[in-house]
Structure 1
């Protein structure tokens, strides 16, 4: 936000900027990463650190968070990955050596079994295409099945409230169930009786 004026910044942003400048006087902002002037970035949930912890706790001692984060960073905000280079993906996930790809593939299977992703086969083998489901919804489903501890789930709900994430809110069905206004019945045509003159006498 180097080019933004103080009037454009929110109150919280101004307070943080003032605090940062007091702690690092003379700070050169060009040394900081600024998404607005850089390519190679994408959207990510603010609760991602906690989501990663939750999935690691469920993977039976075989951490999957590094694999999941690498998958997320390979999307273009479309939740879809073409796994064209599994060796590279294994390396970026922290696996090296002869068993790197095999270990990476085993973590992919764990993520799929937990429901965080879906996998389709194709020209690159059994793991050619990957779709990432909404992690909030996946954790909710796992919690309903008794697979997520209450402490972690409550912490996630609290964090979602703090960041105003509405992914788990039920859709408002009041509008859908509202009775449609009934049309007024058509008016009956008025009948005018013809008046005949009374006979004389």
Structure 2
């Protein structure tokens, strides 16, 4: 499918969804809805993120879920695939950690993400995680799948969903 065909298909699907939305909810004031093309402060996220998060949390082990920490990082990363962290306390809070151990817990989740290969941190003058490179999660998950470290059922769910949305990151097996 070429770009022109893809755009025509996307427009057709959008129009169908808008028509259905109008049938279900009537006329809606567009200013009351979130539109990534109009509103600032958004990020691109894989539509498969719920499955990616489950796989990450399964890999990290019981009692140490890492997906909220990863999502916090993802929401700050741009196309360069890295972030600079100047205030770990803010990222700890955004990741869901509070109290006296918030930063310690956040640091342990960052360490786990690095051990699992989803990120690569570099120490700076502000701490161990001042600079963080964010890898393509599909590629990391694919590696774990090839090593039989992910449940087949969960991997197949991710693979199927990725195919549905046109993501070919897992297709190079």
Tell me the TM-score normalized by structure 1. Answer: 0.77
Counterpart of 1:110 (choices 105, 109, 112) is: 112
Residue 29 of structure 2 aligns with which residue?
28
Shift of 1:77: 2.3
Residue 14 of structure 1 aligns with which residue?
15
> If each structure's helix is expressed as a fraction of its own residues, which one has the higher value?
2
Shift of 1:8: 9.6
Which runs of structure 2 are paired with 1:1-201 in the superposition (5 Å)?
10-61=11-62, 62-170=64-172
Shift of 1:170: 3.4
Shift of 1:88: 0.5
Q: Distance in 2 between matches of 1:149 and 1:9?
A: 34
Contact 2:159 2:170 in 1 (8 A): no
Indicate the SS of the match to 2:37.
helix
Indicate the SS of the match to 1:58.
helix
Consecutive unaligned residues of structure 1, counting only runs of 5 or more, are 1-6, 172-201
Note the alpha carbon deviations across 1:70-119, whole angstroms, 9 max, x for none: 00011122210111110000000000000000000000011111111111
Q: Distance in 2 between matches of 1:47 and 1:26?
A: 30
Indicate the SS of the match to 2:60.
coil
Shift of 1:36: 1.4
Query: What is the aligned-residue RMSD (CA, Å)?
Result: 1.7
Consecutive unaligned residues of structure 2, counting only runs of 5 or more, are 1-7
Q: Distance in 2 between matches of 1:139 and 1:121?
A: 25
Q: Which moved more, 1:11-20 or 1:106-115?
A: 11-20
Aligned residues: 165
Closer, same or farther in 2 for the Cα pair 1:127/1:142, shift >3 Å?
Answer: same
Contact 1:81 1:129 in 2 (8 A): yes
Q: Distance in 1 between matches of 2:37 and 2:13?
A: 19
Contact 1:82 1:129 in 2 (8 A): yes
